[in-house]
Amino acid sequence: MNIPCTISCFLALSFCVFSYDFTTGEELPQENESIERSYKTYNKLFMQKRKEQMYAAHNVWEMDDYSKRYSMVKALLEALFPVLNNSRDTIVDKQFDPTGSLPKEKDLLDAISSVFENVAFFGDLLIRMHDMVQQIYNKNTEWHPILKWSVEFCNSTYLYKETAHQKHINILSMEIGYIPVEPDYYNPFKEKSRPNPKKKKKSLKSKNKRERKPRLSNHIEL
């Protein structure tokens, strides 16, 4: 059953997705504790956020109306990349080392969390609606270095090393063309993707034209 989605409700949801405030009620580990321990606390919150993001992305994918679905994806991406860019600026300005433990400074921690979550959410949208997301992304070339930096940042951190999160970002990297596609990889959402009705109409029109032409052989074009 499709869950009704509107631009306003998803932009409200995107505020939670894109502008995450790392206020948990739990203290992060002390500086002398291990990198693994610092990420263990965060990972619990990240996993919860991932469930919300995947639910949101799937609801967008389930929208029947192509135009509304396109407008929704475009609005989400246009909200996502400025936040990613601001988070990148904060991390660079603070000279944070992604190979170390998570920091205790709230502004920096929020920026790091924003990169983790927005990269993951972009992957959710890309995997489910590859052609649509790729089309919008390709038109906005200023987004390209932001995403590239963000993916590289995530891959440098403990959170994305040898975990399910690493698998997700590897799929994102294959879908966007950062790394070669593995021989055994396939995206099941591409088989279920909803076509652009305009393209479908044009395709049927072309097919009908071809069928009316005289044929000199029994060759059938697929």
Q: Is 110 exposed, middle or buried (0-12, 13-18, 19+ CB in 10 A)?
A: middle
Cβ proximity of 102 and 39 under 8 Å: yes
Name the residue with tokens 């389930």.
62
**Closest to 124 measured CA to CA, from 159, 83, 89, 165:** 165
| In a domain? residue 1 | no
pLDDT tens by residue, 166-195: 999 999 999 999 999 999 998 888 866 555
Looking at residue 202, what is its pLDDT?
52
Domain that holds residue 56: 7-212
pLDDT for 44 beyond 50? yes
pLDDT for 22 beyond 80? no
**Closest to 103 measured CA to CA, from 164, 42, 150:** 42
Looking at residue 194, what is its pLDDT?
58
| In a domain? residue 218 | no
**Closest to 118 measured CA to CA, from 49, 66, 173:** 49
Instruction: Please give the Cα distance from 140 to 143 (Å, whole number).
Output: 6
Q: Region 87-111: what's the mean pLDDT?
A: 95
pLDDT for 213 beyond 60? no
Looking at residue 160, what is its pLDDT?
87
Cβ proximity of 57 and 122 under 8 Å: no
| In a domain? residue 49 | yes
Domain count, the chain: 1
Looking at residue 66, what is its pLDDT?
93
Q: Region 88-114: what's the mean pLDDT?
A: 95
Task: Tell me the whole-structure pTM to 2 decimals.
Answer: 0.76
Give the least confident one: 33-47, 147-161, 208-222: 208-222
Enter the DSSP assignment of 65.
-
| In a domain? residue 222 | no
Q: How confident is the model at residue 34 (pLDDT cuts 50, 70, 90)?
A: confident
| In a domain? residue 15 | yes
Cβ proximity of 120 and 53 under 8 Å: yes
| In a domain? residue 220 | no
Euclidean distance between the first and final Cα of the chain, in Å?
33
Question: In angstroms, how far is CA 106 from the centroid of its own chain?
Answer: 24
Q: Region 140-163: what's the mean pLDDT?
A: 93
| In a domain? residue 204 | yes
**Average pLDDT over the chain, rounded to whole?**
79
pLDDT tens by residue, 102-147: 998 999 999 999 999 999 999 999 999 999 999 999 999 999 999 9
Looking at residue 33, what is its pLDDT?
53
